[in-house]
Amino acid sequence: MSDLIKHHVLKDADTEITVLSMGAAVKEWRVDGQNCVLGFTDPESYRHNAHFLGAVVGRVANRTAQSTFDLDGTRWPLVPNDGPHHLHGGPGGLSQINWDLDAVSDREVILRHTSPDLDQGYPGEARIEVRMTLKEGALTWDMRVEVDRITPINLAQHLYFNLTGGAHIRDHSLQIAAQSITPTGADLIPTGDISPVDGTRFNFRTPQILSEIDPDPAGYDLNFALDKTSGPNVVLRAPNGKELRLWTNRPGLQFYSGAGLSAQAPSSGVAHAPFAGLCLEAQDFPDALHQPNFGSILCRPDAPYHQRTTIDIRQT
C-alpha cells in the first residue's frame, strides 16, 4: 500500500471540507470561504500531529489510567504517551495511521483501517470504517468497528474549532446540554464521580461566553455527561454570526479549550497558540475501563461499535 497522503474535498452549497487519509483528519472546513478549524498547510505535517488536530483518535479515545486494564482475568499493558497514562489510543494510534481513502462523491468519503491484534497493546483485530457525509452544510461521522474478540473501543473526532479565524476562541459562546461532569484529578484521570454542574464554572446549560465564565483563564479539559435531548447536544456561537451545532449518539463530550496548544506551521494564518481553537469530542466516558459506573466500552464480535456524530456550521 502506498504511503502517499491522499485528500478529498467534500462540497455542498457554501461549505467545503478537505479530508486527509492521514489520521482520517479534517484539514480545512470552509464556510463562505472562511476556514473554521485549525490545521496544517502541509499534509505531511499530519504525520507528526502532537495535538491530534482534525484527526479521528482511538482505539480508545481520552485517557486510560496507568496504561493498563484487566479483561477476563488477563491484564493488558498499553503503550503510555501521557506520562504513565495512555492517551487517544497511544503514540501509534489511529491519528498516526495513513488510512485507506475511498472518494465516493463530492459529498461522501469513506476511510478504512484494520488495526491488528496487539496494536498499541489492545487484544484482537479491529476493522474500522469512518464514513463522512456532507449534507446541507452538516458533516456526519458514521464510525463503525467490527472485532474478532472482546476488546475496548471508544473513538472520537478531534477537530479544533475557531469560527472567526481570529487569534483565540475566548469570545465564543458555548452551550452544552449536560447536567453533570466526570471530575478529574490533577493528572486529568477521572475520580470516578459524576458531579452536577450547578453552581460551578462547568455549567454550560445556558450559553456562556468563555472569557466571562473562565476569566483567569484556567481553561477546560473535561468530560460532560450529556443529557438526552431532542435538540443539539452542543451549540457554539461566534461574534461574526457563525454557529456550530453538534448531535451525537455517544453519552459523553470532552470539552478541551486548547490551553496546551503550541506554535506549529498553521493553515489559514491562525497560529496554534493557547486557546486558538477548542475541541468538542463526542465519546464514551474516559477511563471507563477502570470505572464500572461509567458504562462499558467493550466491543464484541456480535455487538459492533457504532458512533454517529453530526456537526453543522453555518452563518446565522
- Which residues are designated catalytic? 158, 281
259: left (phi over 0), alpha (psi -120 to 50) or beta: alpha
**What are the phi and psi torsion angles at 163 (to 5°)?**
-80, -10
Query: How many whole angstroms separate alpha carbon 142 and alpha carbon 139?
Result: 10
CA atoms within 13 A on the CB side of 110: 7
* Contact assessment for residue 142 and residue 159, using Cβ atoms and an 8 Å cutoff: no
Query: How many whole angstroms separate alpha carbon 269 and alpha carbon 136?
Result: 27
- Three-class secondary structure of residue 103 per DSSP: strand
* Contact assessment for residue 189 and residue 287, using Cβ atoms and an 8 Å cutoff: yes
Residue written as grid cell 468563555:
210
**What are the phi and psi torsion angles at 96 (to 5°)?**
-105, 10
Residue 146 CB-density burial (10 A; 0-12 exposed, 13-18 middle, 19+ buried) = middle
- Three-class secondary structure of residue 148 per DSSP: coil
Beta-carbon contacts of residue 50 (< 8 Å; ≥ 6 apart) = 264
**What are the phi and psi torsion angles at 46 (to 5°)?**
-70, -10
- Three-class secondary structure of residue 23 per DSSP: coil
Grid cell listed for 291: 470505572
Grid cell listed for 278: 477548542
Residue written as grid cell 484521570:
189
Helix then strand then coil, in percent of the chain rounded to 5, is 10, 45, 45
